[in-house]
Amino acid sequence: MKYETLHNLSIPKIGFGCWTIGGEGVANPADDERSLTALRSAVELGYRHFDTAEYYAAGHSEELLGQVLCESGKPREAFFVTSKVSPEHLAYDDVLRSCAASLRRLGLETLDLYLIHWPVRGMNLPETFRALNQLVREGRVRALGVSNFNLKLLKEAQSLSETPLLTNQAPYSIPDRSYVENGVLAYCQANDILLTAYSPVKSRFFRGKKLADFAREKGSTPFQIGLAWLVRQPRVIAIPTSFNPQHQADNLSAQNLELSQADMDYLNSLV
């Protein structure tokens, strides 16, 4: 397993995203067996970093993840678990309540990482961070981060966090360089903040012929190339989602794919 190590934490470069585990905006218990099977196979294959949120399936994603982590019999320290507070819960009391509810649903005493899921107009970040900092001081959360924050908001969050911000989770993939263009990636790399790439392979781009030809030459799939391209970059980690065990295995093993600088330049030139 490849890791990013910073601020006394080691975070697997490839994690497992839990969006659609348990449902989408609402819980869909009818699909539980499929979700549980996907999570069990991810743990079995060696995924150790799981990304969920109170928003995912209205908390049911956290419940199913908690169930599978518990039944794995592995020690708590074996896993790195991220959850997120929703934008409508950014007031001081609401953050504390949301975190307590996420921990309860996950069956955990501590979250490894807790993120503001996305920013909203009119949010009171000092108030939110007053609660987030308290959660760290109380040992309910090991590290704080944000998601979908532009550079200005990221700097503001950084100034309010009593501990180093661990990540900004953002869309990033070969065809989506918006967080390169807005200066966030370079800022993260210069300031020891991870950029956690979400939706790393969710694009029609990964079904294109040029990428397919390149992947074939490397003995891999276009999706693996997309993930290898991400995790080759310093301070970049990725959290693909898949319900398909073969895809899950492919995605995890993408971290072992070697790409040269010439390969990176070629892939950059494809979009």
Ligand X SMILES: NC(=O)c1ccc[n+]([C@@H]2O[C@H](COP(=O)([O-])OP(=O)(O)OC[C@H]3O[C@@H](n4cnc5c(N)ncnc54)[C@H](OP(=O)(O)O)[C@@H]3O)[C@@H](O)[C@H]2O)c1
Return residues touching ligand X (CB under 6 A): 17-19, 51, 117-118, 147-148, 169, 198-202, 221, 223, 239-244, 247, 250-251
Between strands 9-12 and 3-6, the pairing is: antiparallel
Closer by beta carbon to ligand X, 214 or else 243 = 243
Closer by beta carbon to ligand X, 67 or else 248 = 248
Closer by beta carbon to ligand X, 75 or else 111 = 111
Q: What is the DSSP letter of 58?
A: G
Closer by beta carbon to ligand X, 92 or else 205 = 205
Q: What is the DSSP string of 94-144?
A: HHHHHHHHHHHHHT-S-EEEEEE-S--TT--HHHHHHHHHHHHHTTSEEEE
> 3-state DSSP call for residue 215?
helix
Closer by beta carbon to ligand X, 129 or else 223 = 223
Cβ atoms < 10 Å from Cβ of 75: 7
- Bridge partners of 170? 197
- 222-231 and 245-253 helices cross at what angle (nearest 10)? 40
Give the contacts of 70 (CB within 8 A, at least 6 positions apart).
Answer: 107
Residue least distant from ligand X (Cβ): 17
Tell the smallest beta-carbon distance from residue 251 to ligand X (Å). 5
Tell the smallest beta-carbon distance from residue 38 to ligand X (Å). 8
Cβ atoms < 10 Å from Cβ of 76: 13
How far lies 270's CA from each of 137, 158, 206, in Å? Answer: 46, 34, 11
Tell the smallest beta-carbon distance from residue 69 to ligand X (Å). 15
Tell the smallest beta-carbon distance from residue 149 to ligand X (Å). 10
Closer by beta carbon to ligand X, 73 or else 82 = 82
Structural contact between residues 56 and 86, judged by C-beta atoms closer than 8 angstroms: no
Alpha helices (H) along the chain: 32-45, 60-71, 92-106, 125-137, 151-160, 178-181, 184-190, 209-217, 222-231, 245-253, 261-269
Closer by beta carbon to ligand X, 244 or else 268 = 244
> 3-state DSSP call for residue 175?
coil
Tell the smallest beta-carbon distance from residue 248 to ligand X (Å). 7
Tell the smallest beta-carbon distance from residue 80 to ligand X (Å). 13
Tell the smallest beta-carbon distance from residue 261 to ligand X (Å). 24
Closer by beta carbon to ligand X, 92 or else 243 = 243
Tell the smallest beta-carbon distance from residue 82 to ligand X (Å). 8
